[in-house]
Structures are given as structure tokens and as C-alpha cells.
Amino acid sequence: MISMNLYVDSAKIDEIKKSLSLGYVHGITTNPTLLKKAEVWKESNNLRSFYSKILDLCDGEVFVQIPSQKFEPILGELESLDMSRLIIKIPSVSSSVEIAKNLVDRGYGICATAVYTPSQAIVWASLDANYVAVYFNRMEVFGINALENVKTILNVLSKSKTKVIAASVKTLDQMNLLVSTGVEYITIGYDLIEKLIESDNSQRDTKNFDEDMSEVMNNFSK
């Protein structure tokens, strides 16, 4: 049985609260670009304070990205938090391999991010990464067959403990395509979270049902 896990890509506290209140968002993914966009320094004294807030809001996993170099100072800020739910994201570049081995040896959960190819996914699975985040939208932008790549990576890692996350999903069409692959972990932007449950056809049907029920109730009262 497939269980779908949805994560919202956001570093804005109000967006995170709203997303979690819907009940179908399982966790939070962040990256340096999202932190910059949210101007997190305006609401928190440091990264530890910021991620402490998010962990308090969320029962699921929270993904935090560290630099590909000189990561220790940032990791040092986070180590006093609940590391069982804090997943460390590492860019899929050669300089990150030693970092990954270091973190796995220390018992941290890791996610290789900015993954584009099956060969990258194989390497990270060999390094015992918990997740690989495959950049779906960016693949399409770069003219890569994103759907086939996700299917191939899922197949390659099917007997591995490493889970595949379809990340950088920007449209409902992309979301609907991904469902056919069987991928169980998807990250999407806040602007899509509420739209997932919407459909013009569903709105039309609901309006018709409501009008018919109103007529039924009016006839009961005659």
C-alpha cells in the first residue's frame, strides 16, 4: 500500500502554520534560498531559534540544508535540537561526500538535494542517505525528461532504504504526473498546498448538491 507524504517548501512561519493546520501536510522542507526569501533573521535570533520554532509547530520531519563547505558552525547551532526529526540536506556535489559520511557515522538523518540523475541517486544510496531529493520542476525547465528520471530512480532504489523525494514541484499538472510514478514523498510550494484539493468540476458538483439538498429540506418543511 502506498502512503503519500507531503512536505511544504517554506521558511515563513505563517505559511507553515497554515499548511500544517490543513491536516495533510506531514513536514517542512527549507533551504538557504527559502530562508533568505523569508528574511528569517527578522523573527529569530539565530538558526537554532528558527528551527526550534518549526519543530515545535510540526510533529513530522523538518529538512534543513547546510553549506557544502564549512558546515560545522551551522550544524553546531542545531545539535541541541530534536535531531531525530531534523533531516540534514546536503547538495549532491563531490565535496559533500565526506560530509555525508561524517554525518551518517554520527547518526544524523541526511537528504541529498539537487539530485538530477540516477547515477547521483545510486551514490547517495550507497552512502546510506535517508532521502534523495530529485528536482522535478528544474529538470523540466532544463529540458530533462523529469517523469522518466523519477521512475528510473525509484526503480534503481526500490531495494534500498533510501527514499525518493520529488522536490521542486511547482504546478498541479506536475503533481498529477508524479502520482503515476508511485513516488511517496513530494515537496511543494505553499501556493499549491490548498489548490491540491480544488477542482472546478468539484466546485460545480458541490454547488449542485447544495442546491438539491436545500430543495429537499424545503419540501420536508411543507
**Mean pLDDT confidence for 68-74:** 85
Q: State the Cα–Cα distance between residues 1 and 85, nearest whole angstrom.
A: 24
Q: 70 in the Ramachandran plot: left (φ > 0), alpha (ψ -120 to 50) or beta?
A: left
- The residues spanned by each domain of the chain are 5-195
Yes or no: say if 140 and 146 are a contact pair by the CB < 8 Å rule: yes
Q: List pLDDT tens digits, range 103-145.
A: 999 999 999 999 999 999 999 999 999 999 999 999 999 999 9
**Mean pLDDT confidence for 199-221:** 90
Q: List pLDDT tens digits, range 134-183.
A: 999 999 999 999 999 999 999 999 999 999 999 989 999 999 999 889 99
pLDDT band at 3 (very low <50, low <70, confident <90, very high): confident
CATH of domain 5-195: 3.20.20.70
Is the pTM higher than 0.85? The answer reads yes
C-alpha cell of 26?
506531514
User: Which residues 6+ apart lie within 8 Å of 17 measured at CB?
Assistant: 57
Q: What is the C-alpha R_g of the chain? A: 20
**Mean pLDDT confidence for 16-41:** 96
pLDDT at 1: 45
Q: Could you tell me what percent of the chain has a pLDDT over 70?
A: 99
C-alpha cell of 19?
499548511
SS3 of 182, please? coil
Q: List pLDDT tens digits, range 179-198.
A: 889 999 999 999 999 888 88
Is pLDDT above 90 for 101? yes
